[in-house]
């Protein structure tokens, strides 16, 4: 008694493996999703069929198991490969609950990614990720996180189930997310009704794909920065022939290093203004790796060196440079190109989402390797205690404070201070802690935050400094961001606990990217 779980590829006999045809020939019963079963009736008219529509997968698998237990050779068919978004896993889950289970055999098939790739050219010639946009079994936030991680990695991406009647805009939303990290001109492609009537395939750009209507029978391929259109087809080179205009990778940087103790040719670019950015800059100087750090303010530049330079300070013969000033996407792209960057680290603040988006978009346009240096945000949540309150925005926290009494410490940065003016008595209750920058102090004074209510200091602060501030000004509520231990989060939490101050925490999703330790290890490769 055997249950054969058969991947039938696109569906027609010529797209099946020899093993799949052999298994279906042997079987008495064929079970499957209605659409896939109908594809087999003409080739195997003498079989007994059992089919169910969408969302009845459990019933279908149980029926197949029962048929096999009754001594009948049974095939449970899946499109593509049975183990890739197929029924193989579910069958094993159900079988373990049975007192006696049949012999389960898996027959692999040609998955949609491979079939679509063959029609489009060679889009999956290098590393790639496969992601389903269907939210029937996976929540939307999980799909979004996985899609963003793949987009940031510069791998090719293959999308299954890109759209349906109820999810008509899912592909468009996916493209919008990917466009944060990749050029609108990125080469993409899609294939519809693969191996069936109405088969269609098209190569197009990412911006064109965003406006394209697809369905559940469409498979989408999104290229990396290396994907090209060659002879009208979509091709992602593996790298056998190094392109002269291709991006310089970390390995290429090592190959360019010169002997005799001289500096390596490749330059690292760091977008900083954080502790992580400073530590990476110091590591580059320690290793002798040419580096340019971009920070938004003069104050950020002063934290990196004791020399107060101009808008662009050249230090130690130009090997170590600091650029001060805010940049938009096009300016970042021009700067990265000008610096000849082999590698870019995004070490901006976890809440600086716009900056991160701009950095990764600029690198995607240039095909330059870019890594987000993540900060672990939630590992220290326990330090906040059970009494801490979490909010999705400053505005939500301020609305809550409007119904409470007591002094407030705003430790959320100067850009969000305007939100606190919604409190009728903010001039009496609100104490703020901001960076000692002239423009920041002027903004605070302009809002009426002056005197003892205004503290201008550079953090992060120790537990004792936090505690002293909270006790001195009788702070009942402290508003802070979920910025991780590097940002002094744990010290704030411990001080608040000692002072009897209630924490209001602005929530931030855990980031994807590499750790500071991993970034340091990458720099070692360059020397």
Task: Read off the pLDDT of residues 272-305 as tens digits, 9 standing for 90 and up.
Answer: 888 888 889 988 888 888 888 998 876 666 667 5
3-state secondary structure of 518: helix
Q: Same fold for the domain at 250-375+514-525 and the one at 381-506? A: yes
Distance of CA 208 to the CA centre of its chain: 22
Residue 32 backbone dihedrals phi, psi, to 5 degrees: 170, 180
Integer angstrom CA distances of residue 85 from 75, 110, 112, 169, 333? 17, 12, 10, 22, 39
DSSP E strand boundaries for 359-501: 370-372, 389-391, 407-411, 430-434, 454-456, 475-481
Output the six-digit token pair for 457. 């200091």
Q: Is 250-375+514-525 in CATH node 3.40.190.10?
A: no
**pLDDT (0 to 100) of residue 468:** 92
**Alpha-carbon span 341 to 360, nearest angstrom:** 14
**Alpha-carbon span 424 to 492, nearest angstrom:** 27
**Alpha-carbon span 370 to 344, nearest angstrom:** 5
Tokens 């409190």 correspond to 423
Quick one: CA torsion of 354, 357, 360, 365, rounded to 10 degrees? -110
**Alpha-carbon span 482 to 141, nearest angstrom:** 19
- Ranges of residues in the chain whose predicted pLDDT is under 50: 242-265, 306-317, 379
**pLDDT (0 to 100) of residue 483:** 66
Pick among 3.40.470.10, 3.30.950.10, 3.40.640.10, 3.40.1010.10: CATH of 2-110: 3.40.1010.10
In the chain the first and final C-alpha atoms are separated, in Å, by 62
**pLDDT (0 to 100) of residue 352:** 81
| Residue 463 burial (CB count, 10 A) | 17
**Alpha-carbon span 409 to 480, nearest angstrom:** 9
Residue 495 backbone dihedrals phi, psi, to 5 degrees: -65, -40
* Helices marked H in 79-224: 88-95, 112-120, 140-153, 170-178, 206-210
**Alpha-carbon span 346 to 277, nearest angstrom:** 8
- Indicate the fold that domain 113-235 takes in CATH: 3.30.950
**pLDDT (0 to 100) of residue 238:** 83
Closest to 516 measured CA to CA, from 324, 304, 358, 280:
280
Give the DSSP letter of residue 442. H
Question: Contact 73/29 with Cβ under 8 angstroms?
Answer: yes
Tokens 């980031």 correspond to 511
Sequence ranges of the domains in the chain: 2-110, 113-235, 250-375+514-525, 381-506
**Alpha-carbon span 62 to 118, nearest angstrom:** 35
Q: Is 381-506 in CATH node 3.40.50?
A: yes
């Amino acid at each position: 008694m055997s249950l054969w779980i058969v991947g039938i590829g696109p569906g027609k006999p010529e797209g099946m493996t020899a093993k799949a045809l052999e298994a279906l020939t042997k079987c008495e019963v064929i079970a499957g999703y209605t659409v896939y079963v109908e594809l087999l009736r003409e080739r195997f008219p003498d079989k007994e069929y059992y089919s169910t529509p969408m969302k009845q997968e459990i019933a279908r698998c149980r029926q197949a198991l029962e048929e096999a237990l009754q001594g009948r050779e049974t095939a449970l068919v899946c499109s593509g490969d049975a183990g890739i978004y197929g029924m193989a896993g579910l069958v094993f889950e159900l079988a373990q609950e049975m007192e006696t289970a049949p012999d389960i055999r898996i027959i692999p098939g040609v998955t949609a990614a491979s079939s679509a790739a063959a029609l489009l050219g060679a889009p999956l010639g290098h590393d790639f990720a496969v992601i389903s946009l269907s939210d029937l079994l996976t929540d939307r936030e999980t799909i979004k996180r996985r899609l963003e991680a793949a987009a940031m990695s510069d791998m090719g991406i293959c999308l299954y189930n890109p759209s349906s009647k109820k999810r008509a805009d899912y592909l468009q939303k996916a493209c919008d997310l990917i466009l944060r990290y990749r050029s609108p001109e990125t080469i993409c492609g899609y294939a519809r009704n693969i191996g069936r009537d109405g088969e269609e395939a098209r190569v197009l750009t990412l911006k064109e794909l965003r406006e394209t209507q697809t369905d559940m029978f469409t498979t989408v391929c999104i290229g990396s920065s290396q994907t090209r259109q060659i002879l009208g087809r979509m091709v992602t080179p593996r790298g056998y022939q190094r392109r002269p205009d291709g991006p310089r990778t970390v390995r290429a940087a090592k190959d360019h290093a010169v002997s005799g103790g001289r500096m390596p040719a490749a330059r690292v670019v760091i977008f900083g203004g954080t502790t992580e950015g400073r530590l990476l800059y110091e590591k580059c100087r320690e290793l002798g790796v040419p580096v340019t750090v971009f920070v938004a303010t003069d104050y950020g530049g002063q934290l990196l060196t004791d020399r107060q330079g101009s808008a662009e300070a050249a230090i130690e013969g130009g090997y170590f440079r600091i650029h001060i000033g805010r940049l938009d996407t096009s300016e970042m792209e021009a700067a990265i190109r000008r610096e000849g960057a082999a590698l870019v680290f995004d070490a901006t603040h976890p809440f600086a989402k716009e900056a991160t988006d701009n950095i990764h978009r600029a690198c995607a346009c240039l095909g330059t390797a870019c890594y987000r240096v993540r900060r672990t945000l939630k590992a220290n949540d326990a330090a906040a205690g059970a009494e801490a309150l979490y909010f999705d925005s400053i505005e939500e926290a301020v609305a809550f404070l409007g119904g409470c009494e007591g002094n407030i410490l705003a430790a959320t940065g100067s850009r969000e201070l305007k939100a606190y003016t919604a409190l009728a008595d903010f001039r009496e209750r609100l104490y703020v802690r901001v960076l000692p920058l002239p423009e920041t102090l002027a903004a605070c004074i302009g809002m009426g935050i002056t005197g003892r209510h205004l503290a201008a200091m550079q953090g992060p602060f120790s537990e004792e400094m936090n505690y002293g501030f909270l006790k001195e000004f009788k702070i009942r509520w402290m508003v802070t961001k979920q910025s991780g231990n590097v940002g002094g989060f744990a010290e704030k939490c411990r001080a608040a606990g000692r002072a009897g101050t209630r924490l209001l925490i602005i929530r931030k999703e855990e980031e994807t990217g590499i750790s500071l330790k991993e970034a340091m290890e990458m720099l070692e490769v360059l020397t």
